[in-house]
């Protein structure tokens, strides 16, 4: 076992201790509906399992664990993992066991790194193949699609193109709420088993269980923060050999935590699934992290707008000190007359240029564009999550109405304001204000 993996397992153990023990026993009516979804059917990490007999054995083990706990799963098929007739038969076994098959694309392409037309073609190719399989067994067409790596597009155009395609093709995006890194345990566990190192395999299996428990509790707590109630959840799992060996114990723990296994229709009927946030971050987080990001962004935008509104109010009452209090100590102010650096120098410039209320006139500022900046973060368990909003760029048009003694005169121009958030407060770091010709 590598030093990196030992550190990660130690982090898992520490996080598990922080999340506390199991939930109190819930009555059937109080249990939280949980949809189990399984990515990369017929088998994840298929290069590890080239032997058809081995693939059949793993499939039997996964289906047996689901059956023992009466789990109605949705399996998302990565069609590129289908190697031939034997794998088609494995998918048939999932259908015969009562599970639903959905679309997880053909080649599992990263939408952020793939041109839109090529990505859509790949997804549609998989849909046609899966529809053909379903039709041959008397089943209805594909209902669900899951974005590979949960990446829905890194631009507004891509996001819109994907959503339009799904709507036209009759597929619904199946989100993930209980995100985790279960797939990362497959290779080391398989390698330990094949080497006959039962001790290492058991330690990896224990880490697999602990990491899933931490992830489930963490995302469940986030849902309570968001909605002030327990909400139905969607668990992400991958079709793996370690899953076939460990799902029985995982499902028993989930039941002890107060979950009950539910269908996709029941879970998705909850209002929390009615609208998905428009997320354009570099990674593919779970649904609750997307909602948290949307709330952080809404709060940040409101705070920036409020700061600018306070500036306008301060200007219009002739209070230049209050107006410039929003500038950072090292702020950079750029105008046609030159560059000024630092809050004190910006204040001195304004006092010289606008010595009294008549010179200041009355200011209006119309925001045309407000863009927020947020970094991505990686949790101790390896999950990609949105970071806090730390910057903003505002493009606006200012208008200054002044009485020159004979008539009201209006000066207008564009401005670009760059802000950062530090210690819970927004500061203007750059301000480029020009006057229209």
- Are 158 and 257 members of one domain? yes
What are the residue ranges of helices labelled H in 106-183?
116-136, 156-169
Cβ proximity of 371 and 392 under 8 Å:
yes
What's the distance, CA 203 to chain centroid?
A: 30
Does 70 fall in a domain? yes
Q: Are residues 199 and 323 in the same domain?
A: no
- pLDDT (tens place) for every residue of the chain, 437 residues total: 455 545 554 555 455 444 444 444 556 668 999 999 999 999 998 889 999 999 999 999 999 999 999 999 999 999 999 999 999 999 999 999 999 999 999 999 999 999 999 999 999 999 999 999 999 999 999 999 999 999 999 999 999 999 999 999 999 999 999 999 999 999 999 999 999 999 999 999 999 999 999 999 999 999 999 999 999 999 999 999 999 999 999 999 999 999 999 999 999 999 999 999 999 988 899 999 999 999 999 999 999 999 999 999 999 999 999 999 999 999 999 998 899 999 999 999 999 999 998 889 999 999 999 999 987 777 766 777 888 999 999 999 999 998 765 556 688 999 999 999 999 999 999 999 998 74
Last residue of a domain, one of 251, 276, 301: 276
Statement to judge: residues 369 and 231 lie in one domain:
no
- Strand, coil or helix: what is 229? coil
Q: Is residue 286 part of a domain?
A: no
Whole-model pTM? 0.89
Residue with tokens 């990660």: 8
Same domain, 181 and 311: no
Residue 236 token pair: 């992400």
Same domain assignment for residues 224 and 319:
no
Residue 262 lies in a domain: yes
Query: Domain containing 417: what range?
Result: 293-433
The bridge status of strand 327-335 relative to strand 425-433 is: parallel
Claim to verify: residue 271 and residue 368 sit in the same structural domain: no
- For residue 405, the model assigns a pLDDT of 58
- Give the integer Cα–Cα distance in Å for 131 and 145: 12
Beta bridge partner(s), residue 34:
233, 261
DSSP letter for 26, please. P
Q: Residue 284: inside a domain, yes or no? A: no
Q: Is 44 part of any domain?
A: yes
Strands 425-433 and 408-422: antiparallel
How many domains are there within the chain? 2
Q: Tell me: do 323 and 264 sit in the same domain.
A: no
Query: Which residues touch 72 (CB under 8 Å, ≥6 apart)?
Result: 36, 98, 99, 100, 261, 262, 263, 264
Statement to judge: residues 104 and 209 lie in one domain: yes
Model confidence pLDDT, tens digit, residues 251-288: 999 999 999 999 999 999 999 999 999 999 888 999 99
Give pLDDT, residue 435. 81
301 and 164 both lie in a single domain: no
Q: Output Rg (C-alpha) for the chain, integer angstroms.
A: 28
- And the tokens for 101? 């098959």
Residue 55 lies in a domain: yes
288 within domain boundaries: no
pLDDT score at 408: 63
Residues 21 and 47 placed together within one structural domain of the fold: yes
Q: Give the CATH number for residue 352.
A: 3.10.450.50
**Residue 282, domain member (yes or no):** no
Whose CA is closest to 224, among 285, 276, 292, 286?
292
Reported in sequence order, the residue ranges of 19-176 that DSSP labels E, i.e. its strands, are 32-41, 74-77, 100-103, 144-145, 172-173
List the CATH number of the domain containing 272.
Answer: 3.20.20.370
Q: What is the pLDDT of residue 30?
A: 85
Query: What do you get for the CA distance between the two ends of the chain, in Å?
Result: 68
- Looking at residue 181, its pLDDT comes to 94
Considering the domain architecture, whether residues 359 and 246 belong to the same structural domain is answered as: no
Same domain, yes or no, for 258 and 317?
A: no
Q: What pLDDT is stored for residue 17 in this prediction?
A: 47
């Amino acid at each position: 076992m590598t030093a990196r993996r030992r550190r990660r397992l130690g982090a898992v153990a520490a996080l598990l201790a922080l999340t506390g023990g199991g939930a109190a026993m819930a009555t059937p009516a109080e249990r939280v509906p949980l949809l189990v979804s399984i990515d990369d059917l017929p088998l994840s990490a298929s290069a590890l399992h080239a032997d058809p007999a081995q693939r059949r054995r793993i499939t039997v083990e996964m289906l047996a664990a689901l059956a023992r706990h009466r789990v109605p799963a949705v399996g998302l098929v990565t069609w590129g993992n289908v190697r031939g007739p034997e794998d088609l038969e494995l998918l048939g076994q999932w259908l015969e066991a009562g599970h639903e098959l959905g679309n997880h694309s053909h080649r599992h392409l990263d939408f952020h790194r793939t041109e839109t037309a090529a990505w859509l073609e790949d997804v549609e190719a998989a849909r046609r193949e899966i529809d053909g399989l379903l039709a041959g067994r008397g089943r209805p067409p594909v209902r669900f699609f899951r974005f590979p790596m949960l990446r829905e597009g890194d631009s507004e155009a891509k996001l819109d193109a994907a959503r339009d395609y799904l709507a036209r093709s009759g597929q619904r995006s199946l989100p993930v709420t209980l995100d985790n890194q279960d797939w990362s345990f497959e290779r080391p566990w398989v390698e330990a088993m094949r080497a006959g190192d039962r001790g290492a395999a058991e330690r990896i299996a224990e880490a697999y269980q602990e990491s899933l428990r931490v992830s489930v509790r963490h995302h469940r707590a986030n849902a309570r923060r968001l909605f002030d109630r327990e909400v139905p959840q969607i668990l992400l799992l991958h079709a793996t050999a370690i899953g076939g060996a460990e799902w029985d114990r995982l499902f028993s723990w989930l039941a002890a935590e107060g979950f009950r296994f539910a269908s996709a229709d029941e879970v998705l009927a909850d209002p929390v699934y009615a609208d998905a946030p428009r997320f354009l971050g570099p990674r593919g987080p779970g649904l609750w992290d997307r909602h948290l990001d949307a709330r952080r962004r809404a709060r940040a935008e409101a705070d920036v707008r409020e700061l600018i509104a306070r500036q306008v109010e301060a200007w219009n009452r002739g209070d230049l000190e209050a107006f410039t209090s929003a500038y950072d100590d090292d702020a950079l102010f750029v105008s046609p007359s030159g560059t000024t650096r630092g809050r004190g120098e910006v204040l001195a410039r304004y006092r010289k240029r606008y010595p009294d209320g008549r010179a200041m006139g009355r200011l209006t500022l119309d925001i045309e564009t407000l863009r927020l900046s947020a970094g991505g973060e990686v949790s101790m368990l390896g999950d990609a999550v949105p970071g806090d909003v730390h910057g903003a760029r505002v493009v606006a048009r200012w208008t200054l109405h002044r009485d020159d003694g004979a008539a009201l005169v209006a000066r207008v121009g564009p401005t670009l304001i760059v802000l950062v958030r530090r210690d819970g407060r927004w500061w203007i770091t750059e301000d480029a204000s020009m006057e229209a010709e």
